[in-house]
Structure 1
Amino acid sequence: MLPVPSITTTFLQRAPFVRRSFWNYLPLTGLAVETHDLRDHDLIVSSSHAFAKGVLTTAEQLHVSYVHSPMRYAWDLHHQYLADYKLDSGAKGWLARWMFHRLRIWDRQTANNVDLFLANSRHVQQRIWRTYRRRSRVLYPPVRTSSFTLQPVKEDFYVTVSRLVSYKRVDLIVDAFRAMPQRKLVVIGSGPDLDALRARCPQNVELMGWQPDEVVQDYMGRARAFVFAAHEDFGISPVEAQACGTPVIAYGVGGACETVRGLHDGPEPTGLFFAQQTPESLAAAVDEFEAAGAVFDPHRCRQWAETFSEERFLREFADVIERAWDLWRRSPLELEPALADGP
């Protein structure tokens, strides 16, 4: 048996009320990451959506950082986060802006701690380049496709599964189906927008709230299509839907463009895209989906989803780490030029 790895946490793990009020500790998170003492390790792999890449390393250590996104609330979604948390005006607003300003400086500086960036999509690869001016290699994250069962027979409803927060744009999906009363939508998920969505749901939209995995998988498998309106860095739920044999109707920006084969992108499509984050654009895409008919084959959807499997990830991850380690020992300056596959 493999030894059980030890888990070492920072002082924030014991901070008062940190689980309920973690945003209050955001200014300390960079400091917390820097308290990890990694001097006894030759290879460091960080999995980062914000702070993990900031661990302190030495010139004798190889640091590979798997980036799921440069911190979104400090960069791309900065103004949206301020508005969502009512920090876009007043004294608290100015304090928040100053804090995020300092976080952006820290985030960009700590990019120098990384020897090789791995990006979880081409979309994130472009954001790494724009934010840090560093090249990276794309490695799609693992999706537990084996946990989902192909269901070739579909029923007459659409489904979306999401955390109910503003940037997921579930409100847009609900409004689109309000304009299509002849079509049924099932919404699964919970979050701070739950009550607001419940207040605006028309009769043809069922808001189920949080559901266990078996219920989610059942609805995903039986649905006519999975609807996805967020601008995501990768987006695992559309891949899970395709693993059930269910095609995807997605907003055509971000990671969805890499995880869904669009109707007009070539043979064997697994879904289609809508161009604007508006109810009208989504409703038009649903009409196009209905008109396309049997062109979406559940078995093809499943086959495409398998290209994002856990087995594929483990194989590719092991390969890139072995190659990085070999290059690092021979010629560290050649590491990024040799392994990066895009800007």
Structure 2
Amino acid sequence: MHVPDGFIDAPVSAVTGVVAAGAVAVSLRGARKELDERTAPLAGLVAAFIFAVQMLNFPVAAGTSGHLLGGALAAILVGPYTGVLCVSVVLLMQGILFADGGLTALGVNVLDMGITTTVVAYAIFRGLTGVLPRTRRSTTVASFVAALVSVPAAACVFTLLYWIGGTTDIPIGKVFTAMVGVHVLIGIGEALITALTVGAVLAVRPDLVHGARGLAAPLKLRVDGELVDAPARQPAPAPAAARSTRGFWAVGLVTALVLAGFVSFYASASPDGLEKVAADQGIDKKTEEHASKDSPLADYGVKDISDARLSGGLAGVIGVGVTVVVGSGVFYVLRRRRTQDTGAGTPADAPRAGESV
């Protein structure tokens, strides 16, 4: 759903840019409360993973494909504020390096793909987990529903922005019907990817899932015939915890590299939902050339490498590498700022009640 330059006029693009910048500023502040020594490295990995999976377009219907937006996945794994930043980093890397999504439309894309999906998904996820049993299965189900709804929600926001500032005169009813219809189908793919990923992380490291904090019930002991709370578990020593997190991070990074560098070659070549609707409805009549069209990595290929498999795979590996470096750098700085604000080793870094370690 990357919006190119020329779909939305300059005034609306400028306003969305200001809104997106404000939301990112708020998220930078909010993320400092979400990140700790375990989740800060994970946030950079989540950004890289979203970049990799976005290269895996999957077929939906009638010559149309879809790809992960990632807002729901990021919000559930690392928190809504950090999630907005993760998707924003991905969109920035895609726009600058790969000519994917317009630069003047960057605010539109951040608002649509980053903020809308994250906020909608996390609100639904929290609502569902508040009424469902606090189990891994119900958490996975909640992530499925949240991701499913977040995609057509983003389609609705794009339709609204197009209604306000579209550069072509197309009946808004047709745009709405086409956009929501195809993105409901894409939402099913988004929901499956999100639920499978969240479920996999819950199975091995539930303590790293922001949305699963407090999932484990307090341990009970029977004393003289009565159930009492067991003493709180002490966190693992810092070196051991760091080694464990590094192992998980390394496995996740290798997975992202394999997806982007190898599996992406087999992705669907059909246009994605927005591209298909734009072509069918005439929204793309005033599309502008991307400012980074001459980038060595434009269109997810490495310039001057003729072998398509090698070119695309190498571009994917470079993209994952750059995204994880930039994302990890941002979240490391935010983590350091939190440490400076609260003081290292303060209760702010301690596990919460009922939280696994």
TM range (shorter): under 0.3
More helix, by proportion: 2
Higher relative contact order (CA 8 A, sep 6+): 2
TM-score, reference length from structure 2: 0.23
TM-score of the two chains, using structure 1 as the length reference: 0.24
Higher strand content, 1 or 2: 1
